[in-house]
Amino acid sequence: MTTMNKTDVEYTIPEVTPELERGPVWLRDQRRASREAFNVAEVPPRGLHLWRYTDPKTFLYDRDAVADTAYSENYDIVEKIELDNLKNGNIAALATDLGGRDIKLNGADELAKQGVVLSSLSSAVEHHHELVENYLYRLVNARTGKFEAMNGALWNDGIFVYVPDGVTVDKPIHLLRESGLARSSQFPRLLVVVGKNAELTLIDEYGGGSLDENEGISHANGAVEIFGLEDSRTRYVMLQRQASAMKLYLTHRAQIERGASMLTVPLAFGALLSKENFGVTLNGEGADSNMYGLLFGSGYQHFDNHTLHHHAADNTSSNIDFKVVLKDRSHSAYTGLIRIDNDARTCQAYQENRNLLLNEGVRADTIPELEILNEDVQCSHGATIGPMDPESVFYLEARGIERDEAIRMIVSGFVDHTLKTVPDDLRQRIGTFVAQRLERI
Amino acid sequence: MTQSKAHFEFKDIHVEVEGKEVVKGVSLTINHGEIHAIMGPNGSGKSSLSNALMGHPNYTITSGEARLDGKNLLEMSADERSRAGLFLAFQYPLAIPGVTVANFLRAALKSHRGKDADMSDFRKLLKAEMSDLSVDPSFATRYLNDGFSGGEKKRVEILQMSMLKPKMALLDETDSGLDIDALKTVADGINRYHNDQNAILLVTHYQRLLNYVKPDFVHVMMNGQFAKSGGPELALKLEESGYDWVEKEVLQKAEV
Ligand SMILES: Nc1ncnc2c1ncn2[C@@H]1O[C@H](COP(=O)(O)OP(=O)(O)OP(=O)(O)O)[C@@H](O)[C@H]1O
Ligand SMILES: [Mg+2]
């Protein structure tokens, strides 16, 4: 085994690291500050609530002991599907991102006619430096946490999407991010700015990674920053279908201004272990955020998810519906925080987490957290954890439907509402993931 | 039990729920084309009997026999009973969020026929049956019973029956919750379905359904047993006088 699979690595980012030298002065400063923050920050103690279910040392590996390697074959299949989708006009553009290094763009020229930018972050640093300097590191940075600082120092390249004021991108932009094979690590990064009264649907798909634990784990540590300016409408679908020996840490933060709406759809099917953190700050009056999460665990998969809805302005509304289906020996922990600032009046915030357990031996934890600093709110949260209702199964059986098929239908029904929020071209593929997991029950 | 000509028959059925015996030895023989009604006070075991016959996991048949066209139902799972031709319209149909009425019916038909129905044939059939039962076409794409009113649920139960065309239909209080017009529509649906090749056993509290769907026999269930059986006139008498007199009769018999 390589050192990176041990959990007692005390890795610090060396002073001379190629990534730290990349880009203009402001960027190098940010990277160095991130390096510094990473190196001095303690490994978060397990007792800390966000680390109760996952050992933080999982994400602390000797980054220099690993290299980029080849990419899985499956990647090409998906790329082909999505290129067909592009050709058939189902999506507006496709960007493929190999481990935060090779970034290929398809359809970006067409988008440019509308003033929409889809480019690598490195190119955006050159060509749109004001935008990038203004927004990058604002939501996910050295202060966010140790692992966010790690990404902030070590990201190689990433993706930048910009939609100018008043522009509607009428089809989804699809990002395909591929992790390397065993014993590699990647630091994907995404920056999105949706201008005033602009509209964007973005699919952010994470695949690849090591297929076999015996050959070694592959790691990814991702950061996503999304800005929705006044009256913008953004839909962000994050699909995680990484390979079975992959460990993922990902922090997503979005901030939406007055009158803006944000739909966030985290979908997770893959990876051996993943810790994903989705947060939206409602930063302007009347902003509205919805999250529809779905994860489906099987085998020994471990999922640790957080959501945050932070109400920082009056009359903002948020809603979370996070669904979990678990089978075999999988485990999910969900922590959902609703924070309502002292000076954010008449807000509405709802949160629901439902966990469907398909067999004994799975484990689901759910922790709602409320930090409500003012009285003038409507807020509710609920959580359920339990097996499938035998009465529902009986109802379908009583109509002649065999038990296994009845269970499949009920699970599909459980996730149906979430999948309705996903653009057509993706929904079918996701339906297939669900179906595959329901083949053996 | 020897092979009999009876269409549907059960003998000395005992049912336990939550460790309590709620059906205490009931027997009935139903021939092709017959309509039987079971009436009886709340809690007398009518639904427990119907659910147990359908194979509900919470209702255990501890002893007895049940056959449909000579086939032993009790060794079949619920889905096998359905495919053998037994149908139960539930007193309290459950909501199945995420499963549309159309997908549900398509899956049910597929399991009965052993193959998927042609999509356009299926749509036509569904549309026709829905219109016969005055079910709004929009219900096809709604989630099954999710947010349906009491009466809408009952209509959709009968819709399921008319699509599946079972040999033997158990209808548990299909009339409850229906307004006057809906009662007529549902009764018409039941009568359209009924022929001399199938049979109906319906549970009801009221004569009003029996005015439309005319039973050949009426059975009174009390405390888990059939206390009395008779013709359609029995239902009228119950409607007029309630159950007290039946209970007294039973007690008198017991004293003799
Ligand atoms: N799932 C259950 N758990 C516990 N007790 C039950 C259950 N189902 C039925 N029972 C009990 O069994 C007895 C018979 O109930 P059942 O529902 O069969 O009556 P019913 O004749 O259908 O009444 P109603 O006319 O009110 O529908 C009642 O005492 C009832 O409380
Ligand atoms: Mg009943």
Q: Domains in chain B, start-ordered, CATH in brackets? A: 8-92+166-255 (3.40.50.300)
Q: Which residue of B has its CA nearest to A411?
A: B98
Ligand 1: centre distance to CA B202 (Å): 16
Tens-digit pLDDT profile for residues A181-226: 888 899 999 999 999 999 999 999 999 999 899 989 999 999 999 9
Q: Does residue A103 sit in the same domain as residue A220?
A: yes
B98 vs A390: CB contact, 8 Å cut-off? no
For A336, the 3-state DSSP assignment is strand
- Long-range Cβ pairs for the range A95-98 (8 Å, 24+): A95/A159, A95/A173, A95/A174, A95/A175, A95/A176, A96/A175, A96/A176, A96/A177, A96/A178, A97/A157, A97/A158, A97/A159, A97/A175, A97/A176, A97/A177, A97/A178, A97/A188, A98/A71, A98/A178, A98/A180
Ligand 2: centre distance to CA B179 (Å): 19
Q: What is the mean pLDDT of chain B?
A: 94
Chain A residues whose beta carbon lies within 8 Å of the beta carbon of residue B57: 390, 394
pLDDT for the residue numbered A50: 86
Query: pLDDT tier at A9 (50, 70, 90 boundaries)?
Result: low
- The ipTM, to two decimals, is 0.96
Chain B residues whose beta carbon lies within 8 Å of the beta carbon of residue A418: none
Q: Does residue A394 sit in the same domain as residue A252?
A: no
Q: Is A267 within a domain?
A: yes
Most B-contacting residue of A325, A388, A395, A438 (CB-CB within 10 A), to test interface: A395
Tens-digit pLDDT profile for residues A35-69: 999 999 999 988 777 899 999 999 998 877 766 66
Q: Residues lining ligand 1, judged by CB closer than 6 Å?
A: B 17-18, 22, 40, 42-48, 58, 91
Query: pLDDT tier at B250 (50, 70, 90 boundaries)?
Result: confident
B55 contacts chain A (CB < 8 A): yes
Q: Is A354 within a domain?
A: no
B112 contacts chain A (CB < 8 A): yes
Host domain of residue A414 = 388-441
pLDDT > 90? residue A290: yes
Chain A residues whose beta carbon lies within 8 Å of the beta carbon of residue B107: 396, 399, 401, 405, 409
Chain B residues whose beta carbon lies within 8 Å of the beta carbon of residue A405: 107, 111
Q: Is A50 within a domain?
A: yes
Which value, to the nearest 10 degrees, does the dihedral of the CA atoms of residues A335, A189, A286, A200 take?
-120
Q: Is A13 within a domain?
A: no
Q: Which residue of A has its CA nearest to B88?
A: A398
**φ/ψ bin of B87: left (φ > 0), alpha (ψ from -120 to 50), beta (otherwise):** beta
pLDDT for the residue numbered A8: 55
Q: Is A236 within a domain?
A: yes
Ligand 2: centre distance to CA B223 (Å): 13
Token representation of residue A57:
């040392």
Q: Does residue A256 sit in the same domain as residue A404?
A: no
pLDDT > 80? residue A127: yes
Strand partners, A317: A288, A348
Torsion sign, CA atoms A236, A239, A240, A242: negative
Count how many domains chain A has.
2
Tens-digit pLDDT profile for residues A200-209: 999 999 999 9
Token representation of residue A339:
């924070």
Tens-digit pLDDT profile for residues B45-88: 999 999 999 999 999 999 999 999 999 999 999 999 999 999 99
Q: Does residue A275 sit in the same domain as residue A404?
A: no
Q: Is A395 within a domain?
A: yes
Tens-digit pLDDT profile for residues B90-109: 999 999 999 999 999 999 99
pLDDT > 80? residue A1: no
Instruction: State the ligand closest to the CA atom of B26.
Output: 1
pLDDT for the residue numbered B249: 87
- Give the integer Cα–Cα distance in Å for B38 and B10: 14
* Selected residue with higher pLDDT from A181 and A305: A305
B82 contacts chain A (CB < 8 A): yes
Query: pLDDT tier at A93 (50, 70, 90 boundaries)?
Result: very high
Q: Is A261 within a domain?
A: yes
pLDDT > 80? residue A82: yes
B111 contacts chain A (CB < 8 A): yes
Instruction: State the ligand closest to the CA atom of B43.
Output: 1
Q: What is the mean pLDDT of chain A?
A: 93
B141 contacts chain A (CB < 8 A): no
Tens-digit pLDDT profile for residues B171-185: 999 999 899 999 999
pLDDT > 50? residue A413: yes
pLDDT > 50? residue B4: no
pLDDT > 70? residue A117: yes
Of residues A390, A402, A412, nearest to B111 (C-beta):
A402
A401 vs B111: CB contact, 8 Å cut-off? yes
A414 vs B98: CB contact, 8 Å cut-off? yes
Mean pLDDT, rounded, for B124-141:
95
Ligand 1: centre distance to CA B253 (Å): 26
Query: pLDDT tier at A433 (50, 70, 90 boundaries)?
Result: confident
pLDDT for the residue numbered A69: 62
Of residues A390, A400, A410, nearest to B79 (C-beta):
A400
Residue where a domain stops, chosen among A258, A283, A308: A283
Tens-digit pLDDT profile for residues A21-30: 889 999 999 9
DSSP state of B174: T
Residue where a domain stops, chosen among A283, A316, A334: A283
pLDDT for the residue numbered A67: 64
| Residues A329/A360, Cβ–Cβ less than 8 Å | no
Token representation of residue B249:
């009769």
**φ/ψ bin of A328: left (φ > 0), alpha (ψ from -120 to 50), beta (otherwise):** left
Query: pLDDT tier at B2 (50, 70, 90 boundaries)?
Result: very low
Mean pLDDT, rounded, for A421-440:
87
B46 contacts chain A (CB < 8 A): no
Which value, to the nearest 10 degrees, does the dihedral of the CA atoms of residues B64, B68, B73, B77 take?
-150
Q: What percent of chain A has pLDDT over 90?
A: 80
Tens-digit pLDDT profile for residues A325-374: 999 999 999 999 999 999 999 999 999 999 999 999 999 999 999 999 98
Chain B residues whose beta carbon lies within 8 Å of the beta carbon of residue A403: 77, 79
pTM value is 0.91
Residue where a domain stops, chosen among A229, A254, A283: A283
B160 vs A406: CB contact, 8 Å cut-off? no
pLDDT > 90? residue A428: no
pLDDT > 50? residue B1: no
pLDDT > 70? residue A6: no
pLDDT > 50? residue A389: yes
CB atoms within 10 A of CB A433: 15
Chain B residues whose beta carbon lies within 8 Å of the beta carbon of residue A399: 79, 82, 104, 107-108, 111, 160, 164
